[in-house]
Amino acid sequence: MYTSGWFVLLPIHLLTTHEVPWVPTRYELISHIMRIARVGPGDVFYDLGCGDGRVVIEAAKRGAKAVCIEIREDLLRQAKENAKKACVYERIKFIHDDFFRVDLSDATIVYMYLLTRVNEKLRPKLQRELSIGTRVVTLDFAIPKWRPVHIEKHYTGGLERTIYLYIKGVSDVFTETV
Ligand SMILES: C[S@@+](CC[C@H](N)C(=O)[O-])C[C@H]1O[C@@H](n2cnc3c(N)ncnc32)[C@H](O)[C@@H]1O
């Protein structure tokens, strides 16, 4: 199984505390993510586990409405401060919760920088709640049993990073019904 560099170096307690620790998306990848997801006005962009808000802030700067869901209160506070500094606070909805408990049905784009096993756990929720045509972009970890429509690799920070694009209604038609 493919794992990215940061995952294999993580201390085990970080994996058990919040299931996925905070490892931010590198800034140099964000413009690629925005391009691949085709983020623009009219989009509703969700980041499941939004960390310090850096990805939702870029989506909001491109005219999207964004939703930042984060289980760690300290990070959500940081995300709000960063959004204020970037003058996009009003375009972002901040939710302090577990993303498994948040309804995703108005999303047009979902971004996930999580782990394969968490993507797998999220898959039935994505299948249930997302509309046909919703773009789902993941960094470094694929969604098991979904077929990406596009894969892009970028070398940065000493590691190869992989961006996967999935489209609801195209990527999931091979999966069993859940
Ligand atoms: C790898 S980091 C990615 C952060 C951000 N999306 C980015 O790309 O910069 C994963 C984030 O998900 C958050 N997280 C983990 N499990 C979560 C859950 N069940 N609900 C909400 N947030 C969660 C972590 O606290 C962490 O900030």
- The answer, yes or no, to whether any atom of ligand 1 lies below 6 A from the CB of 25, is yes
pLDDT in tens, 50-80: 999 999 999 999 999 999 999 999 999 999 9
Q: Which of 71, 104, 121, 162 has the most ligand 1 atoms within 8 A of CB, as the residue to mutate?
A: 71
Q: Give pLDDT, residue 128.
A: 97
What atom of ligand 1 comes closest to residue 47's alpha carbon? Answer: 6
Q: Give pLDDT, residue 15.
A: 44
Region class of 21: left (phi > 0), else alpha (psi between -120 and 50), else beta: beta
- The answer, yes or no, to whether any atom of ligand 1 lies below 6 A from the CB of 7, is no
Which residues is 152 bridged to in the sheet? 163
Phi (first) and psi of residue 137, to 5 degrees: -115, 130
81: three-class secondary structure by DSSP: helix
- The answer, yes or no, to whether any atom of ligand 1 lies below 6 A from the CB of 70, is yes
Q: Any idea which architecture 25-167 has in CATH? A: 3-Layer(aba) Sandwich (3.40)
Query: CB-based contacts of 33: which residues, under 8 Å, 6+ apart?
Result: 25, 55, 58, 111, 137, 139, 163
Our CA angle for 127, 52, 7, nearest 5°, is 65
- Tell me the pTM: 0.91
Q: Give pLDDT, residue 19.
A: 80
- The answer, yes or no, to whether any atom of ligand 1 lies below 6 A from the CB of 164, is no
How far is the centre of ligand 1, averaged over its atoms, from the C-alpha of 40 (Å)? 23
- The answer, yes or no, to whether any atom of ligand 1 lies below 6 A from the CB of 45, is no
